[in-house]
Homo-oligomer: A and B are copies of this chain.
Amino acid sequence: MREATNRRIVLASRPTGEPTPADFRLENAAVPEPGDGQILLRTLWLSLDPYMRGRMSAARSYAKPVEVGEVMVGGTVNEVVASRHPGFAEGDIVQSYAGWQDYALSDGAGLRKLDPSLAPVSTALGVLGMPGLTAYTGLMNIGQPKPGETVAVAAATGPVGSMVGQIAKLKGCRAIGIAGGPEKCRYLVEELGFDAAIDHRSSDMAARLKEACPNGIDVYFENVGGAVWDAVFPLLNDFARIPVCGLVAHYNDTGLPQGPDRLPQLMSAVLARRLTLRGFIVGDFASQAEEFYREVSPWLREGRIKYREDVVEGLENAPEALIGLLKGNNFGKLLVRVKR
């Protein structure tokens, strides 16, 4: 049944440093009517992801920012509630980018139809969606893990990090996860089969990481930056590969930190240890999506890949949930159940 209004959350102001609830505004709009060739989508699930912090800023990045007053961007799972498009029927479930709102129109471009009998549709936003593809393509193309190597990943219980570690294990590597708090660390080792997990809140993180990596680190999948990078850096082996996927520790930075300037030190290590640092976003490897589904779907069906969702109820709670995500408060793939 269709509701009377389309609730939508827009960017109210560009944050300085940490976003606050006041940077978002919940608006009520009319539910739009599909024109010829269009479908009306109702949002079931909204994905919350660290990249959203970047879109709230005007700084140069890999995608254009959300304008103040615009609906916040976001990946979604939607139900088709009305269709004037020959390719879609009422009741179809699709993965879309409808953003932070109840309803959206679409001309069908960029939608992916989901089969609810194959996997819960919410996985299209996580393990079988953008985060999973990010982990898979970044690790395989840039990390290039070889059996017996050590692969470290931060934000390791998140949807990207948990996939990186599990794929690394399936590829014959030693997987080391870094996460916040003993519960997450226990989960990594006991549930996901990581070889070790390091609590980045512990005062001796660097020493523990070193202990867990007696042969150094060959692949560091960078989601975080900050203190985790500082602990990883001395352990990077000759020829280590560093897919740079995210830097959530820096997304709220308002300027350059105090010195000394460690840029020359990094460049010297890149040279002396022949490191490879390469940034990427999932769209750079979009052509590998089919290969990803083909390789990862069986792993999921066979229980060789596990995933965890952290579900927030109600669109109105999305701003607080995103603010918490940037602090590492979520445990698993953060989703908002939008449909009331």
A→B interface (CB under 8 Å) = 54, 60-62, 222, 225-226, 229, 238, 244-247, 250, 253, 255-281, 284
Q: Which residues of B contact A273 (CB under 8 A)?
A: 62, 279
Q: Are A284 and B274 in contact (CB under 8 A)?
A: yes
Q: Are A278 and B281 CB-contacts (below 8 A) given A247-B271, A261-B259?
A: no
Instruction: Give the docked Cα–Cα distance between A183 and B272 (Å).
Output: 32
25 A-B Cβ contacts within 8 A? A62-B271, A222-B267, A229-B267, A244-B267, A244-B271, A246-B271, A250-B267, A250-B268, A255-B260, A256-B264, A257-B260, A257-B261, A258-B259, A261-B262, A261-B263, A267-B277, A270-B279, A271-B279, A273-B279, A274-B279, A274-B280, A274-B284, A276-B276, A277-B278, A278-B278
Q: Which residues of B contact A269 (CB under 8 A)?
A: 279
Instruction: Give the docked Cα–Cα distance between A260 and B258 (Å).
Output: 5
Q: Are A261 and B256 CB-contacts (below 8 A) given A247-B267, A267-B247?
A: yes
Q: Which residues of B contact A263 (CB under 8 A)?
A: 261-263, 265-266
Tell me how far the C-beta of A153 lies from the nearest C-beta in chain B, rounded to whole angstroms: 16
Q: What is the chain B residue whose CB lies nearest that of A233?
A: B263
Tell me how far the C-beta of A276 lies from the nearest C-beta in chain B, rounded to whole angstroms: 4
Q: Are A244 and B270 CB-contacts (below 8 A) given A277-B276, A278-B276?
A: yes
Q: Are B247 and A253 in contact (CB under 8 A)?
A: no
Tell me how far the C-beta of A37 lies from the nearest C-beta in chain B, rounded to whole angstroms: 33
Q: Which residues of B contact A245 (CB under 8 A)?
A: 271
Tell me how far the C-beta of A155 lies from the nearest C-beta in chain B, rounded to whole angstroms: 14
Q: Which of B222, B267, B268, B278 contacts A274 (CB 8 A)?
A: B278
Other 17 A-B pairs with CB < 8 A, given A257-B260, A262-B262, A263-B266: A225-B267, A247-B264, A253-B264, A256-B262, A257-B259, A257-B261, A258-B260, A258-B261, A259-B260, A261-B263, A270-B278, A270-B279, A274-B278, A274-B280, A275-B279, A276-B276, A276-B278
Which among A253, A258, A275, A279 has the highest number of chain B CB atoms within 10 Å?
A: A279
